[in-house]
Amino acid sequence: MLKIDGESYHVDEWTNVPASILAFLPRKLHLQPSHPVSITRQVIEKSFPRPIYTHYNEISPIVSVAQNFDSLGFPADHPGRSRTDTYYINKDTVLRTHTSAHEADIFHGNQSEGYTISADVYRRDAIDRSHYPVFHQMEGARMWDRRKVAGGDVAKAVWADLGQLPKHDLEVEDSNPTIHPERNPLQAEYHSTEEVEAIAAHLKRTLERVVVYLFSKAQKAAVAVGNTDTSTTEPLKVRWVEAYFPFTSPSWELEVFWQGDWLEVLGCGVSKQELHINAGVPDQLGWAFGVGLERVAMILFSIPDIRLFWSKDQRFLSQFASMDQINTYVPFSKHPACYKDVSFWLRSSSSSAGEGLRANAQDFHENDFMEIVRDVGGDLVEDVKLTDEFVHPMSGRKSLCYRINYRSLERTLRNQEANQLQKKVEEHLVNKLGVKLR
């Protein structure tokens, strides 16, 4: 049994969520008043005014596999469903991997014409300055109902609503057709071209406004501290690129030109009609989007490492005030890095069954290694890189070498402390993954 927030869940062979991850559930950074994740949420919510949009911000991260994957049309063999990528509480229950897990339920509840939901999401992943097993997303959607719009003319109603949205002077590159038969198809069974053109235009204008608002604040904050990078002083540039999601078609990503690179900020598209049909609202159609809040917050406040969001250090937390005052983060002194290597052999994939359930070259997944490192080192690990990999020509066994970079954001880590952590990582590797250290 696993007890989480007073509820009991049975465990089974799918269970893989460690206590160290469950400890994040009560943190709710997106609701801490002057936390940068929460400020970012509030800035984006500004573009989704009530009463058209309801803002849901307190939905539990514990969802069913049906909510997280099935309801959204994820195929049975989608890699996102695997235990190496997702935290399972048991076979039927996961920590949501995205806020889209709630789309079907909110469509079904049908409380308003649109909504946003902001929440913590959980993914097993690599370790570096922009990946953390818990992060926050905001998802939003806007729906129109064929039975409610004037004359049943959705396209006309959408264009009229678009006319109400303020314009902006952003430079937008949008070179693809709204609909492309192979790359970005119309749901021809359910939607007309006119409807999708209108919905796509409404979607794009809405999200472009979000970006203008966010990035002009980011530019202002950067300029205020003397950053003269051209992307902070020149007019903002964005572009739309075609994308694929199992639950939208056509689909896009919005990219922003920021400090020399095109940066993907959000995914979106015209909702799959099956979602509305299965949610019991077949006359509804519209758009949806999802954005990662840490990624935006890192830009907005110039925060260099995703671990900082989880810091309880007042030197970090006290730097942020409210959405009316976006300032650039001032790093406290950078402490030295401490690199440690670990090399090990995996079992050869042809090894006899007698070797048991040990990690062989086929079932070894890097995320299992990452999780051991996180479990032992927590926020003292800055990043982990594969530095060498080879297969022994005679035995066929595979060898891997990873370099772990231990560095505290808050204090100087002693070499002895890093050695102790490294020793523990090695022990866990042997005991949990059954690898042979070199």
Distance from C-alpha of 307 to C-alpha of 408, rounded to nearest angstrom: 10
The pairing of strands 114-122 and 261-271 is: unpaired
Question: What is the dihedral sign for C-alpha 288, 136, 64, 17?
Answer: positive
Pick 36 or 290: Cβ nearer ligand DAH: 290
Output DSSP code: residue 430: I
Phi, psi of 52, rounded to the nearest 5 degrees: -60, -45
Q: Could you give the C-alpha distances from 251 to 231, 245, 262, 288, in angstroms and in order? A: 27, 7, 18, 9
Pick 156 or 205: Cβ nearer ligand DAH: 205
Pick 102 or 374: Cβ nearer ligand DAH: 102
Tell me the residue type at 294.
E
Pick 63 or 288: Cβ nearer ligand DAH: 288
Q: How far apart are the first and last CA of the chain?
A: 37
Pick 200 or 326: Cβ nearer ligand DAH: 200
Pick 95 or 380: Cβ nearer ligand DAH: 95
Displacement of CA 61 from its chain's centroid (Å):
13
Question: What is the dihedral sign for C-alpha 368, 373, 376, 380?
Answer: negative
Q: At what angle do helices 193-224 and 36-45 cross, to 10 degrees?
A: 140
Which residues in this chain contact ligand DAH in the complex, by CB under 6 A? 98, 100, 139, 245, 248, 267-269, 288-290
Pick 246 or 282: Cβ nearer ligand DAH: 246
Q: Could you give the C-alpha distances from 172 to 118, 237, 239, 261, 364, in angstroms and in order? A: 27, 6, 5, 16, 44
For residue 176, give the nearest of 102, 253, 101, 123 by alpha carbon.
253
Distance from C-alpha of 283 to C-alpha of 266, rounded to nearest angstrom: 27
> Cis ω on the peptide bond leading into residue 51 (within 30° of 0)?
yes
Pick 140 or 377: Cβ nearer ligand DAH: 140
Yes or no: say if 296 and 123 are a contact pair by the CB < 8 Å rule: no
Name the strand (E) or helix (H) holding 154: helix 154-164
Phi, psi of 62, rounded to the nearest 5 degrees: -90, 115
Phi, psi of 329, rounded to the nearest 5 degrees: -65, 135
Pick 135 or 364: Cβ nearer ligand DAH: 135
User: Which residue's entry shows tokens 């952003």?
Assistant: 170
| Shortest spacing between CB 93 and ligand DAH, in angstroms | 19
Distance from C-alpha of 75 to C-alpha of 222, rounded to nearest angstrom: 43
Pick 291 or 376: Cβ nearer ligand DAH: 291
Yes or no: say if 118 and 286 are a contact pair by the CB < 8 Å rule: no
Pick 143 or 338: Cβ nearer ligand DAH: 143
Distance from C-alpha of 170 to C-alpha of 83, rounded to nearest angstrom: 42
